[in-house]
Amino acid sequence: MIWWHAVLIAAAGIWAGMINTVVGSGTLVTFPVLVALGYPPLTATTSNAIGLAPGTISGAVGYRHELRGQFRRMLTFVPASLVGAGCGTVLLLSLPPDAFETVVPALVGLAVVLVIIQPRVSTWVLRRRETSGKEQGTGSQVLLITLIFLIGVYGGYFTAAQGVMLMAVMGMLLSEPIQRLNGIKNVLAAVVNVVAGTVYAFIAPVSWPAIALLASGSIVGGWLGARIGRKLSPVALRAVIVVVGVAAMVQMILRQV
């Protein structure tokens, strides 16, 4: 590996770890970097899942204070993410690589759209809380667990923007402070990444040098994101994610032409 490739991958890991903790969408930084450096899309995705998993754990630990009193709730949410992640990895490894390369631009596009509309969703959620002021009934709880499972499937298949999705659905169906929801999001994203990464480590094509660089960078990024990430401009973070995501989508489309 060329030295500047290593520096670029490690830097992308730090940035992705921070973004994943604060917003969620770090894959839209690391995935296009790996693809641009010549890694096949499937290898870039599997290596991402493994390499960014330590960063999601680091971010979740950083939000441990916001997670106090959430143990019983997590007992219902974590299994949904875990099973969903397992289903997503099965899909990724069962479908032909060509199918993955075909659908990736659409998935990246979906992730970019979610990042763009996230502020509007957050505003809508805050207004809803002001009018309702309480969580919904059992039906909403079942709906939320189902959506967490489906997001886990998506995360096991392609991790980008699963954090944004989780924040959106939990914000609509739970009446909790945004920082507590962010802590729950970090735990669920960590579960998905760890499950997917464990499976990929044994039976999928991966690049261990890239994984080592991403892992070391994402741990630092997750730690930073939990401590100082909230002080960064959300607009700046979102702009970087959107620009990198669009670039990745265009690059993937051009690869298929």
Q: Can you give the residue ranges of every domain in the chain?
A: 3-256
By CB neighbour count within 10 A (0-12 exposed, 13-18 middle, 19+ buried), where does 82 fall?
middle
Give the per-residue pLDDT at 231. Answer: 61
Give the per-residue pLDDT at 139. Answer: 66
CA-based diameter of the chain, in Å? 56
> Residue for token digits 């939000």?
63
User: What's the mean pLDDT when you consider all of the chain?
Assistant: 81
pTM of the model: 0.78
Give the per-residue pLDDT at 227. Answer: 75
- Per-residue pLDDT band at 256 (split at 50, 70, 90): low
C-alpha separations of 97 from 40, 67, 78, 120 in Å: 10, 39, 29, 35
Q: Give pLDDT tens digits for 164-219.
A: 788 778 877 777 777 788 788 889 988 998 999 899 888 888 999 999 999 999 88
Q: How many CA atoms lie within 13 A of 137 on its CB side?
A: 1
Average pLDDT over residues 99-108: 75
- Sequential DSSP letters for 54-117: HHHHHHHHHTTTTTTT-HHHHHHHHHHHHHHHHHHHHHHHHS-HHHHHHHHHHHHHHHHHHHHH
